Amino acid sequence: MKRIIDTENTNIIGPRIKEARSRAGMSQKELSEKLELMAVYTCRGSISRIENGKRAVTDIEIDAISKILNVSLDFLFGRE
């Protein structure tokens, strides 16, 4: 079944991930390496596409990213 998305972006949390990563002084490569330590294999290029809204994010990735960047899920989803 083909997904139907009415916008160009495939996620809504990418800009918040980028903001939190930048605040933490972490590069995309460093975030990718920390995700790998949690058995979440997301390459640097995928992080870039996530931050630019061009790649969907799994719930497992969202959970791990929030833990690594020490931000709440509410922050990532723009609810705080």
80: pLDDT confidence band, cut at 50, 70 and 90? confident
13 with 57: CB under 8 angstroms?
A: yes
Closest CA to 52 of 8, 22, 20, 5: 8
What separation, in Å, do the N-terminal and C-terminal C-alpha atoms of the chain show?
34
For residue 64, what are its two tokens? 């791990």
4: pLDDT confidence band, cut at 50, 70 and 90? low
**pLDDT tens digits for range 20-78:** 999 999 999 999 999 999 999 999 999 999 999 999 999 999 999 999 999 999 999 99
15: pLDDT confidence band, cut at 50, 70 and 90? very high
